[in-house]
Amino acid sequence: MPDSKIELERMYTVPLSRAWIAPRYRRTSRAVNVLKEFAERHMKSSEIKIDSELNETLWKRGITKPPRRITVKMTKDEDGLVTISLPELEEEEAEAKSVEPEKEEEKISTGLESSKQEDVENSAESQQTETVNVPDKKTKQPSTKSTKKIKRQKKSE
């Protein structure tokens, strides 16, 4: 494609819901055909090529569960060949998402986490629980099924 000039470039959100009418074992194959039919109708060309990344995205969840809709970029060159690919925006968003968790880790390491842990330890010390066996009514013996928990607060000295 570097040799030929791009004549037309458009972004579409393609509904793939018609693929779900097909039997389970044909759904993703049908989704690929729906995508090609959509490209033929909107880009006015019969020569359609699907990018490998887009194909992997369609097949990611297997043959029985293709996506319900997908946003794609369609480019038509001067020879009439339409190439369908994923938009470049998704790659930039993925990079931005991978940067955000690093910032969160920095916030946690600043000391906020240690103060939260101290609060949890203090509250755990103030509320201790004891397990008391309650005798069964019929056998008058302690039952393992029925137990009561009694909360006992620490007495302040």
- How many Cβ atoms from other residues are within 10 Å of residue 6's Cβ? 11
pLDDT band at 91 (very low <50, low <70, confident <90, very high): low
Model pTM?
A: 0.56
Strands 69-77 and 6-15: antiparallel
Query: What is the enclosing helix (H) or strand (E) of 140?
Result: none
Share the mean pLDDT of the chain.
78
The amino acid present at 96, given as its one-letter code, is A
- pLDDT value at residue 150: 47
DSSP 154: P
* 1: pLDDT strictly greater than 50: no
β-bridge mates for residue 152, sequence order: 128
Instruction: Give the span between the Cα atoms of 140 and 83, in whole angstroms.
Output: 80
Instruction: Give the span between the Cα atoms of 86 and 55, in whole angstroms.
Output: 9
Least confident of 32-36, 57-61, 113-117: 113-117
Domains of the chain: 6-89 (3.10.440.10)
